[in-house]
A and B are shown apart, each in its own frame.
Chain A
Amino acid sequence: MTKEDYLELYKQMVIIRLIEEKCEELYQKSKIGGFMHLYIGQEAISARKPQDNVITAYRDHGIAIACGMDPKPLMAEMLGKVTGCCKGKGGSMHLADINLRFWGGHAIVGAHLALATGLAWADKQKGSDGVTLCFFGDGASNIGYFHESLNLAAVWKLPVLFICENNHYGMWTPVEDASAVTDIRKKALGYDIPSDVCDGMDLLAVRKASEKAIAHIRSGKGPFFLEVMTYRYRGHSMGDQRPYRTADEIKEWQTKDPIGKFEPVMMKKGITKEQIESIHAESAKVVEEAVRFAEESPFPPMEELYTDIYVENQ
């Protein structure tokens, strides 16, 4: 990877962090409604170049940015504005952009693993060498869809990369209380799907593991399973104050912060402190502009209530 790649990926992580912090603030001001799940701590996982199909769960802000989504339509969607990426009909949990091949955040746990097999099947059927990257949580590995989807992907040799973001909790339940195996990747064994694990707080480690996995899939060998060990600093969703984990545990993970940890790596590559600082300044500006755009945008007009329900007019 070149210096430029480092700078770009770093910037992506910084923008995600700033967007999340901004969303938190706007949520507290009641400008954002519904459930909202923040990605802070998990930024390194989605920091990659836009490519292939991507589909994920409701914790989708960071992944949307990593897919190349402009922060403006993202922020506008948060605020329920008509200029949002889904015209204000999806909200925080349902960001998507068909032009980026970002097939959405999906809020029914596990259901999008099944959709991912279909995205991959269509690519395969059409002779494309596209790979489908399917992100989901540790908790999702306990639902029927997970098992049906891994099995089908293996039987049909579908080009899917199953990426389990193991942040150690499904809502307030620790992995060991919910899953018979705590190394989630072991579940892939049951479907003869090869797997790997990597440190989700380390951008380069995630990058390396996912490149290897994608190469495996692109060579026509069928699905691959990647377990990424990570942590969310914030609660499951906004307003989560439950005492299911200790302050020490959170602090401990924060010492491994994916953004902080990447800075010395960048410096070793010859990137200066000034360059890093200017990325922070630029990113803050991008996010400020996105918020302004969202605030100034109109809410959907009432006619929008009845649009897009069917493709064909009734």
Chain B
Amino acid sequence: MSKALAQAMYEEMERDPNIVVLGEEVGAQGGTYGVTAGLFEKFGKDRVRDTPISEGVIVGAAVGAAMNGLRPVAEIMGINFAFLAMDQIVNHAAKIHSMFGGQFKCPLVVRTTSGGGKQLAATHSQTPDVIFAHFPGLKVVAPSTPAEAKALLKASIRSDDPVFFIEHSTMYSERGEVSDDPNFLLPIGKSDIKRKGKDVTIVTYSKMVSVSLKAAAELEKEGIEVEIIDLRSLRPLDLDPVFESFKKTNRAVIVEEGWKTFGIGSEVATRIYEECFDYLDAPIERVAQKEVPLPYSAELERAAIPQVKDVIAAVKKVL
């Protein structure tokens, strides 16, 4: 997947000289996860800029540059460090357009990596994606496959609005076919049906799509047909396909890697209750991270992050 993301930036930078990349170690080193590999050699140090370890000014400079005509793609090494740039992301990028009455545009992408599962312990393993989705004015995208990562990153770069682009840290080595067509984009704010089924609707995104697919394959052996909807973006949140699916299955499980309290499941479940109350056959189940700071020790960490078996159990519970 890292190659797919690199290709997206490469192709876009070839197309538009106003696109610039900045972040810690993104230049000659090619990025912590190799996502900017090859850009520095091709586009040079003025367009692919290493920055000091200064998250606030990385995003701040990107917002200012976006207001003044560039189209920056800023890499924040990890979502846990995005908290140091939180003010720029939510108070500036998300507000610059509206607060000044539409005068300024902020065509900016902040790319970062989220998620646990690498034994990095509590401060380096969080999946706080939902926090960023709280703010009108910001778009939040989180792809689940290499092909979609490429197409969605390209769409994010072409968007005139600020996009917070979340890559899952355990998915960079994921393999998959990607389109060679430099104009193949996916629209931001469109959910996608990843698997058809009639018994239960699973709503999920990012890494948890593959976990849910594995669960679905197991359940199929028992004759249970699961439909899986990948949100792909958390804001705008496209729930129409979810409602449509739910009206058919009458049962839903929401799977997310982050914590349950105030999580994506809380929002999606409420919206299903609001829109599809008459279609409800069972209380909606939420699969999410245990309410603890993630521990280092492998077994403990695994126990806290949703696994295939947790999804299977939740599906059986709603049936």
List chain A positions with a Cβ less than 8 A from chain B: 53, 55, 84-90, 94, 96-98, 103-104, 106, 108, 111, 113-123, 125-126, 144-145, 148-149, 151-152, 155-156, 307-312, 314
Residue of A nearest to B46 (CB): A125
Specify which chain A residues have a CB less than 8 angstroms from the CB of B62 in the assembled complex. Answer: 118
Specify which chain A residues have a CB less than 8 angstroms from the CB of B52 in the assembled complex. Answer: 148, 151-152, 155
**Closest 9 pairs between A and B when the two form their complex, measured CB to CB:** A118-B64, A114-B60, A87-B101, A86-B101, A122-B68, A308-B102, A115-B64, A148-B57, A311-B160
Specify which chain B residues have a CB less than 8 angstroms from the CB of A125 in the assembled complex. Answer: 20, 46-47, 65, 70
A-contact 0/1 string along B106-147, CB 8 Å cutoff: 010000000000000000000000000000110100000000
Contact B101 A118 (CB under 8 A): no
Alpha-carbon separation in the docked complex, A98 to B91 (Å): 19
Contact B60 A118 (CB under 8 A): yes
Contact B160 A114 (CB under 8 A): no
Contact A90 B60 (CB under 8 A): no
In residues 59-75 of chain B, which contact A (Cβ within 8 Å)?
Answer: 59-70, 72
Contact B100 A94 (CB under 8 A): yes
Contact B101 A122 (CB under 8 A): no
In residues 28-76 of chain B, which contact A (Cβ within 8 Å)?
Answer: 46-47, 49, 51-52, 54, 56-57, 59-70, 72
Known: A121-B70, A123-B68, A149-B57. A115 touches B101 (CB 8 A): no
Alpha-carbon separation in the docked complex, A53 to B69 (Å): 13
How near does chain A come to B54, taking the closest CB pair, in angstroms? 4
Partner of A117, one of B57, B66, B99, B105: B57
How near does chain A come to B140, taking the closest CB pair, in angstroms? 13
Contact A118 B68 (CB under 8 A): yes
Specify which chain B residues have a CB less than 8 angstroms from the CB of A119 in the assembled complex. Answer: 64-65, 67-68
Specify which chain B residues have a CB less than 8 angstroms from the CB of A116 in the assembled complex. Answer: 64
Alpha-carbon separation in the docked complex, A225 to B161 (Å): 33
Alpha-carbon separation in the docked complex, A149 to B64 (Å): 12
Contact B102 A307 (CB under 8 A): yes
Residue of B nearest to A130 (CB): B68
Partner of A114, one of B64, B69, B105: B64
Instruction: Select the residue from A103, A149, A311 with max chain B CB neighbours within 10 A.
Output: A311
Residue of B nearest to A96 (CB): B100
Contact A103 B61 (CB under 8 A): no
Contact A312 B61 (CB under 8 A): no
Additional pairs, 14, CB under 8 Å, beyond known A89-B98, A106-B92, A108-B91: A90-B100, A96-B103, A97-B103, A111-B87, A114-B60, A117-B57, A118-B60, A119-B67, A122-B65, A145-B60, A148-B57, A156-B49, A310-B161, A312-B160
Known: A152-B54, A311-B160. A117 touches B64 (CB 8 A): yes
Residue of B nearest to A122 (CB): B68
Alpha-carbon separation in the docked complex, A111 to B92 (Å): 8
Q: List 6 A-B contacts (CB under 8 A).
A: A86-B100, A94-B100, A104-B104, A117-B60, A125-B65, A149-B57
Contact A122 B51 (CB under 8 A): no
Query: Is B159 engaged at the interface, CB distance under 8 Å to the other chain?
Result: yes
Specify which chain A residues have a CB less than 8 angstroms from the CB of B139 in the assembled complex. Answer: 310
Query: Is B88 engaged at the interface, CB distance under 8 Å to the other chain?
Result: yes
Specify which chain B residues have a CB less than 8 angstroms from the CB of A149 in the assembled complex. Answer: 57, 60
Partner of B54, one of A96, A148, A312: A148
Query: Is B189 engaged at the interface, CB distance under 8 Å to the other chain?
Result: yes
Query: Is B236 engaged at the interface, CB distance under 8 Å to the other chain?
Result: yes
Alpha-carbon separation in the docked complex, A307 to B189 (Å): 18
Partner of B56, one of A145, A155, A309: A145
Specify which chain B residues have a CB less than 8 angstroms from the CB of A148 in the assembled complex. Answer: 52, 54, 56-57, 60
Partner of B60, one of A87, A111, A123, A310: A111
How near does chain B come to A99, taking the closest CB pair, in angstroms? 8
Specify which chain B residues have a CB less than 8 angstroms from the CB of A85 in the assembled complex. Answer: 101
Residue of B nearest to A120 (CB): B64
How near does chain A come to B113, taking the closest CB pair, in angstroms? 22
Contact B67 A118 (CB under 8 A): yes
Partner of A309, one of B59, B136, B159, B160: B136
Specify which chain B residues have a CB less than 8 angstroms from the CB of A106 in the assembled complex. Answer: 92
Contact B161 A312 (CB under 8 A): yes
Contact A104 B65 (CB under 8 A): no
How near does chain A come to B52, taking the closest CB pair, in angstroms? 6
Residue of B nearest to A300 (CB): B101
Contact A309 B60 (CB under 8 A): no
Contact A115 B137 (CB under 8 A): no
Partner of A89, one of B46, B61, B66, B101: B101
Specify which chain B residues have a CB less than 8 angstroms from the CB of A87 in the assembled complex. Answer: 101-102
Query: Is B302 engaged at the interface, CB distance under 8 Å to the other chain?
Result: no
Residue of B nearest to A104 (CB): B100
Known: A111-B92, A121-B61. A308 touches B54 (CB 8 A): no
